Amino acid sequence: MREKLLKEIENKKIIVIVRGVESQKLIPLAEAMYDGGIRLLEITYDATGKVSDEETAKRIELLSKHFAEKMFIGAGTVICEKQVELTKNAGGSFIISPDSCIDVIKKTRELGMVSMPGALTPTEVQTAHRAGADFVKLFPVTSLGTEYVKAIKAPLSHIKFLAVGGVDENNMADYLKAGVCGFGVGSNIIDKKMLANEDYKGITALAQKYVSVLEEGI
């Protein structure tokens, strides 16, 4: 499963970030994404505590059971080992973090999941890689742009990078050319107005647009 997921991330490239979506809308939203060609979904933990970690884990479990192996479900904004364990028990298969916490990375690998911690500086990137990260999430990537990606990729060419933070259909091809192998995309692909109106066909069309742009840019 782990090896299959690693290949899927490199092949499909887009991980959709699902943040703050009510439980009753998760399956219709995920189905809409699936119909649009998306195969990787990240359900984020709530750092404010308004939604408990246990509730987030239930949402991961809901999607993991619904899609089985049709779609890979993982967790985002993972900042502690407890959240890693909750995700594993809920059937999640990957862990994404905003930072490079060594304990989180090691726990993720220990439990057989794919590790994608966040980093920005060369030191953070290499620290994450040495701890066992499978991919390193450059975040927030658009704050520094494609030239930064090229600069950091040159000496760290052995590391697989994901671009996250401000990525949309207009800049994805540029980041691919700069050297990333995938993306995390949130509110730019999950249109809040469409979601509020339960316009799932519109969301599918938007997902298809992203997938098409990506395919053309490869």
Q: Go through the domains of the chain in sequence order and give each one's CATH number.
A: 2-210 (3.20.20.70)
Enter the pTM of the model: 0.96
* Selection from 99, 94, 98, 106 nearest residue 130 by Cα: 106
* Selection from 31, 92, 109, 104 nearest residue 56 by Cα: 92
Handedness of CA 47, 73, 91, 3 (dihedral sign): negative
CA distance 186 to 15: 9
Tokens of residue 61, six digits: 């479990």
* In the block, residue with structure tokens 């395919």: 215
Render pLDDT for 130-188 as a digit per residue (tens, 0 to 9). Answer: 999 999 999 999 999 999 999 999 999 999 999 999 999 999 999 999 999 999 999 99
Render pLDDT for 40-94 as a digit per residue (tens, 0 to 9). Answer: 999 999 999 999 999 999 999 999 999 998 999 999 999 999 999 999 999 999 9
